[in-house]
Chains A and B, each alone.
Chain A
Amino acid sequence: MEIKEKESVVVRFSGDSGDGMQLAGNIFSTVSATVGNSISTFPDYPADIRAPQGSLTGVSGFQVHIGASQVFTPGDQCDVLVAMNAAALKTQYKFAKPDAAIIIDTDSFGPKDLEKAQFKTEDYLGEMGIDPDRVIACPLTTMVKDCLADSGMDVKSMLKCRNMFALGLVCWLFDRDLDVAFNFLKEKFAKKPGVAEANIKVIQAGYDYGHNTHSSVANVYRIETKNKVPGRYMDITGNKATAYGFIAAAEKAGLKLYLGSYPITPATDVLHELSKHKSLGVTTVQCEDEISGCASALGASFAGALAVTSTSGPGICLKSEAMNLAVIMELPLVVLDVQRGGPATGLPTKSEQTDLLQALFGRNGESPMPVIAAASPTDCFDAAYAACKMALEHMTPVILMTDAFVANGSGAFKLPDLAEYPAINPPYVPEELKGTWTPYMRAENGTRYWAVPGRQGFEHILGGLEKDDKTGAISTNPENHDLMTRKRQAKIDAIPVPDLEVLGDKDDAELLIVGFGGTFGHLHAAMYEMRSAGKKVALAHFKFINPLPKNTAEVLKKYPRVVVAEQNMGQLAGWLRMKVDGFVPAQFNQVKGQPFVVAELVENFTQLLNK
């Protein structure tokens, strides 16, 4: 047996959507993170509600990248592919590196399975051009049944443990300590100790199988840990980190957290997560529709809560009316858009960045609204916190953008210490203004004061009709409308945001890569590879999109070549061209519903350099 030391390794678990690949992947990530590896994950669900078993459309995947030092993406292609059935091998093999190890369950490659997966012959490996030496072929289903023969379980329940056998095999391949996996399962199935026990037994069997039979065939990989940042960590998905950011901000601001929401993929996990935490006083209302999700949140905001509504692009279409009301009423509100493929229902489970212009402009009238985009699963926490702080302190709705990739992906999250986060101070109307206060009176930075119902002497009315700047009464005066329009715009423009940071060869880059939101990891990895190849490259990644950082024009104009790379047809590029005179970047646009592939980015960017 050879032990290969590797800097990083990518593992992809794939199988039928009922095969429990997400759970197996999750446990493996946790086990790896626990030993101090850096991790980045990407679950790839089928969109079908329940595609026929064994069919090509029903394949579900979970990819995890584990590294000795920091990894920024789930990886382009995998070093190990687990394919639980013929359809998985057929559809997922394209994600495997040429020398990848492939684990298959030979029991799921019978004539019917091959037919469903549209193989023409029984020589499925030959058909796909796979070298059999790279394949760990085991009768996995049979072995799971044997292993649980004495458990008294029915066959259906036994088969649910197949994923754990694969997990055990992978754990052996990576020399992983099984205790962490065992503890994970004991906790997960605390109320069903029988299930936990069966799963543990099967993991051990998978591990032993690898150890006993395949020690001569496969390599065992070892991922050491380097560049460790000491601290306490947990694995967190983007959606969970977003929910945690909201909770943290509410606590810091001393406000009740209210979420109005309607289920929608891929944002629903935020509703699930927040609904759990009633012991923190979190109030969640699953509304009758997206409209009400946003409208009720605005009502909650008026009544004095930190109000949030969560959705994806189609929901933003419906919420835009109440978002606009929040703009003119100048009330704090955070609108979460977990972007997915569009238009309309589009690709509900896939990831895109195609809502940027909708976020910036998708409302009637002059309706400026801050936009913040999270860069990674763990960054969702900071982005959500920043969105809440901005909304509350500047009395405005704020759009927080994530995407399916960031929302479902996970990373190792260093437990934050709330004491280190900035205070959140909403501009409550000062008591001494009682008697002279009117609703659109502004603090020095142009922000309207907040008078929460319950305070005597500050009774007032807000609404969707234009109001007089001085009295707060309804006004159709043309000069006043022009003035109020400018004041609402100036308030947003004046919101302070951190400067745009340039990574890489910031002084002498020949190419500046520009992106926003969830593509950070891929763009960073592309830059890293190019610099390793001796190229002079820098990366400027936008998290604050409206208002733009003050140094935006300076950064964009500093380098001889600039490419804006985004998962849409050029929305950020267009926005930057609108805001920065004379800025004409090259563009890299891809709208496949899939994350960028680093190798493609490198190839494309290198061509730009050579032009």
Chain B
Amino acid sequence: MAYTQNDFKKGQPRWCPGCGDHFFLASLHKAMAEIGVDPWKTAVISGIGCSSRLPHYMATYGMNTIHGRAAAIATGAKVANPDLTVWQVSGDGDGLAIGGNHFIHANRRNINLNMILLNNRIYGLTKGQYSPTSPRGFVSKSSPYGTVEDPFRPAELCFGARGHFFARAVATDAPGTIEVLKAAYEHKGASVCEILQNCVIFNNGTHDAVYDKAGRAKNAIYLKHGEKMLFGENNEYGIVQDGFGVKAVKLGEDSYTEADVLVHDAKCEDNTLQLKLAEMEWPVALGVIRDVEAPTYDDCVTAQIEEVKAQKKYHNFAELLETNDIWEVK
């Protein structure tokens, strides 16, 4: 059935004007319409935080649960009912601080979830404390003299947990966001989409370098599997190998030519170069960075049940009882 974005819309979002969540929500509505899964076969599950209000604005099934537990709750929903398409939505605090354990284990198990991480590097709902993605030295209400801790880099965490899908988009970039959401849906297994999103009140400008189109033209690279990693307003830059790492170079300088530019391989099982790409500070890598097929937990659970059903001779409770040592008292 053909859907429009309106089939997935519900209610009036209550986020601050200009909040990145508005942009992301619109893209999610459009992506879901294009994906075409029925709203009643879709569940959107969030934790707590500004971005976790999102399920209230979806005409699908949904849960706005408790802080940090979205990935765990989504895991149970998907494993118990594999026919559901499950989207899990968290912010950086919800997903990586209080919910960090569930985040890594959902990735490790490879549950077929579409995991959205809305990263604004701040706690917005509690009004401005630093988050696990705030940079070292970040000044906030709870760190008036600057933080003395290093942030998580979400891709690193995902890869460290043996994640098989990682993509990144900027909330204001609708085509880029829709593209990664569709790719996340298509990917079978846990798919993490990091959405760079601005908090206009407590962390305004955190993603400024890539937040508008002109900035992205200068400071971002759109990765496409199988294509040369070129970027810049006139594709004048490229990503080349640099010892054990990668670096951005200007073609024509230092004798670099287009022939030196690496071709992006999102399907490569070894995540070493994908991690390098994800961690680049300039340019910021957008698009699907890693997309590798692997058996999903929910499929394997279902398959194992079918396998054991075929092997074992008992298939209901009465038959189960008979598998025990039984005696009869007459």
Contact = CB atoms under 8 A, between A and B. Distances in A.
Contacts of A248: 317
B75 A292 contact: yes
B105 A295 contact: no
B229 interface: no
Interface stretch (B20-28, B76-84, B239-247, B274-282): B76-84
Contacts of B65: 295, 298, 325, 463-464
Given A258-B76, A278-B305, A454 B81 contact: yes
Contact of B73 (A34, A187, A295): A295
Given A279-B314, A295-B76, A304 B81 contact: yes
Nearest to A456: B40
Q: Quick one: which of B38, B61, B320 has the most chain A CB within 10 A?
A: B61
B118 interface: no
A244 interface: yes
A415 B321 contact: yes
A288 B40 contact: no
Given A299-B45, A300-B76, A280 B69 contact: no
Majority-rule SS of A interface residues: mixed
Nearest to A187: B325
Contact of B66 (A297, A322, A418, A454): A322
A285 B84 CA distance: 18
Interface stretch (A229-237, A372-380, A394-402): A229-237
A229 B73 CA distance: 46
Contact of A454 (B84, B101, B321, B330): B84
A598 to B, nearest CB: 26
B76 A456 contact: no
B304 A453 contact: no
A278 B321 contact: no
A304 B329 CA distance: 40
A269 B42 CA distance: 35
B317 A303 contact: no
Interface string A284-302: 0101110110011111111
B324 A234 contact: yes
A307 B305 CA distance: 17
A283 interface: yes
Interface residues of B, number: 58
B161 to A, nearest CB: 11
Q: Quick one: which of A236, A281, A459 has the most chain B CB within 10 A?
A: A459
A383 interface: no
Interface string B81-108: 1011000000000000000011011000
Contacts of B61: 302, 453, 459-461
Given A283-B301, A298-B73, A461-B55, A455 B101 contact: no
A459 B60 contact: yes
A92 interface: no
Interface in A20-54: 30, 33-34, 36
Interface string B275-303: 00000000000000000000000000100
B326 A453 contact: no
B96 to A, nearest CB: 15
A233 B327 contact: yes
A80 interface: no
A288 B161 CA distance: 13
A256 B79 CA distance: 11
Contact of B75 (A183, A285, A289, A461): A285
A459 B79 contact: no
B318 interface: yes
A36 B330 CA distance: 9
Interface string A202-244: 0000000000000000000000010011111111100000001
Interface string B39-82: 11111010010000001101111111110010011111111110
Contact of A292 (B48, B56, B105, B317): B105
Nearest to B14: A474
B99 to A, nearest CB: 10
A247 interface: yes
B85 to A, nearest CB: 10
B63 A463 contact: yes
Nearest to A279: B312
Contact of B63 (A225, A232, A462): A462
Given A247-B320, A303-B43, A461-B56, A456 B325 contact: no
Q: Quick one: which of A258, A277, A292, A456 has the most chain B CB within 10 A?
A: A292
16 contacts: A247-B320, A277-B320, A279-B314, A281-B309, A285-B79, A288-B104, A292-B75, A292-B102, A300-B79, A300-B80, A300-B81, A302-B61, A324-B66, A460-B61, A462-B62, A463-B62
What 8 A-B pairs have minimum CB-CB distances, sorted nearest first?
Answer: A299-B76, A296-B76, A300-B80, A463-B64, A303-B81, A279-B312, A295-B72, A299-B73
Given A234-B327, A279-B312, A283-B301, 4 more contacts: A36-B327, A228-B330, A453-B84, A459-B60
Interface of A: 30, 33-34, 36, 183-184, 187, 225, 228-236, 244, 247-248, 251, 256, 258, 260, 277-281, 283, 285, 287-289, 291-292, 295-305, 307, 321-322, 324-325, 329, 415-418, 453-465, 473-474
